[in-house]
Amino acid sequence: MRHAKKGRKLNRTSSHRKALLSNLACSLVIHKSIRTTDAKAKELRPFAERLVSYAKKNDLHGRRLIQKNIKGQLSKRVANILIHDIAPAYSDRNGGYIRIIKLDNRKNDNAPVSIIEFVDLKTSIDENTEDSKKTNSKTKNSKDTVSE
């Protein structure tokens, strides 16, 4: 009996599981939404939400904890995206940063597939990019008038 043994093994060794979660979290942060199997998505959710919580602290220790959990060359890039883009959008939310949307089964092996994505992130990021575009266009127009 598996009493008090939380988490799924995903039919992998411990090091392979850690690398898998790190790579999935990296892809989720960069692309904001990924498609994977249900079991992997359910394991990824607490892992990635913990990274967002570290990023919300906005200090050196949080950055180092993110880089410790994200392996490889992209750890600094992922930490920067989490701290500067994603964490400010969730400053007033206590947990529940990620949602899992179940899809049909995969055609090849009939595995249940789902989409895992950040909750309410696209609208806030789109607003930030629109604001920055407006300010950039205003500064470009003001430079043109000054140079004339």
- Each residue's pLDDT, cut to its tens digit, for the chain (148 residues) gives 989 898 999 999 999 999 999 999 999 999 999 999 999 999 999 999 999 999 999 999 999 999 999 999 999 999 999 999 999 999 999 999 999 999 999 999 999 999 999 998 876 566 666 666 666 665 555 555 554 4
Residue 53 domain-assigned? yes
CA distance 33 to 49: 14
CA 22 to chain centroid, in Å, comes to: 11
Residue from 131, 124, 128, 47 nearest 92 by CA: 124
3-state SS, residue 74: coil
**What pTM value is reported for the model?**
0.81
Host domain of residue 105: 14-119
CA distance 13 to 75: 22
Residue 110 domain-assigned? yes
CA distance 26 to 34: 10
Residue 98 domain-assigned? yes
Residue 36 domain-assigned? yes
Q: CATH number of the domain that 59 lies in?
A: 3.90.1030.10
Structurally, the chain folds into a number of domains equal to: 1
Residue 136 domain-assigned? no
Residue 139 domain-assigned? no
